[in-house]
Amino acid sequence: MGLPNLILPGAQKSATTTLYRLLTRHPDIASGTPKEPHFFAKDDLYAQGVAAYANRFSSTNGERYVIDASQSYLPFGEVPDRIHETLGDGTRFVVLLRDPVRRIESAFKHFRVKDGGEMVRSLSDLYPSAREISRMELPTLMEYEAKEVARRLANGDIIGRHPSWTRKGFPFNYAAVSAYHAHIQRYIWTFGREQFLFIGFRTMTQDQNKALSQIAAFLGIDPAPMQVDQSVNATPQRYQSALARRVIEPAKKAIRPLLGSTLSTSLGKVERRLFKKHIKMEFEPDVRAALSGVFAEDMAAVSSLTGVSLEDL
């Protein structure tokens, strides 16, 4: 049994799951259960102590690297110090970075269709109009978002996923999570730049063997066992709302045995028409352009700090 010495902290919805699955094909790399223990990002888990964390990795067997792939780690300010205190100076990090606005779209999509997430909001509900956004700087947008998320959590439009996360609005504070520079800077201050490898989303999804070769060089391992020719984490294009999952599905299960086959089939058709619709998952072009403008300064700083080009995001 060994504690992790390789962290994949995010960014969330930046192909970290894909990377995790590819890395764990390597005989020198092991993981625990689950792949995202969230130990350092959930206060109650962290309070249990290192022994509880170590139990997550009891199946490891002397592999050179042990992975913790919790995508919640990047945006939480207290996490770098917690990792440092528990795992030490030698911990390595592979950080995947994605265009911040595209990441917001993908994260919203993810939580719009899962239990314990976005219940009623559409993408257009997240932020004000493009004209209003264009007048904002990133801290102002984040402040607007924080107030809106708190209000939505209070009235049940959003269902929190964990108490210590809900207090901070995570993971529904999409813009704050996408404000990478401050998050990355905290990690580098804590561990030193040499402990980090940063890879752009485009390279990770469009040229995986290149990304894996970079990682192998960073870790000092052979890339061959990891190389593949396609992504392993394609996202389906048809979605069912969280409301449908939480309310309609249990009702269907209760009613269906009471119906004949004809009525049951009709019920299915009605349900598909009402609830399995295509949910709009992209910002309008003017809103996307305005948001990109808000993130521009932060992303230029991220590119300078990490060496990842803006085009690779």
Residues 177 and 104: their CA atoms lie apart, in Å, by: 9
Q: 161 falls in which pLDDT band (50, 70, 90)?
A: confident
CA-based nearest residue to 226, from 242, 213, 237, 243 = 213
- pLDDT tens sequence across 8-24: 999 999 999 999 999 99
Burial 77-94 (b: 16+ CB within 10 A, else e): eebbebbeebbeeebbbb
CATH fold, domain 6-98+179-226, is Rossmann fold (3.40.50)
pLDDT tier at 116, thresholds 50, 70, 90: low
DSSP label of 236: P
Q: Is the pLDDT of residue 170 over 90?
A: yes
Q: Check: CB of residue 44 under 8 Å from CB of residue 38.
A: no
> Which residue(s) pair with 252 in the sheet?
none
- Say how far apart CA 214 and CA 310 lie, in whole Å: 18
- CA 217, 213, 75, 292 torsion-angle sign: positive
Q: What is the mean pLDDT of residues 227-243?
A: 53
pLDDT of residue 280: 66
What residue ranges do the domains of the chain occupy? 6-98+179-226, 242-275
Q: Give the per-residue pLDDT at 54.
A: 96
* pTM for the full predicted model: 0.85
Tell me the pLDDT tens digit for each residue of 203-225. 999 999 999 999 999 999 999 99
Mean confidence (pLDDT) of the chain: 88
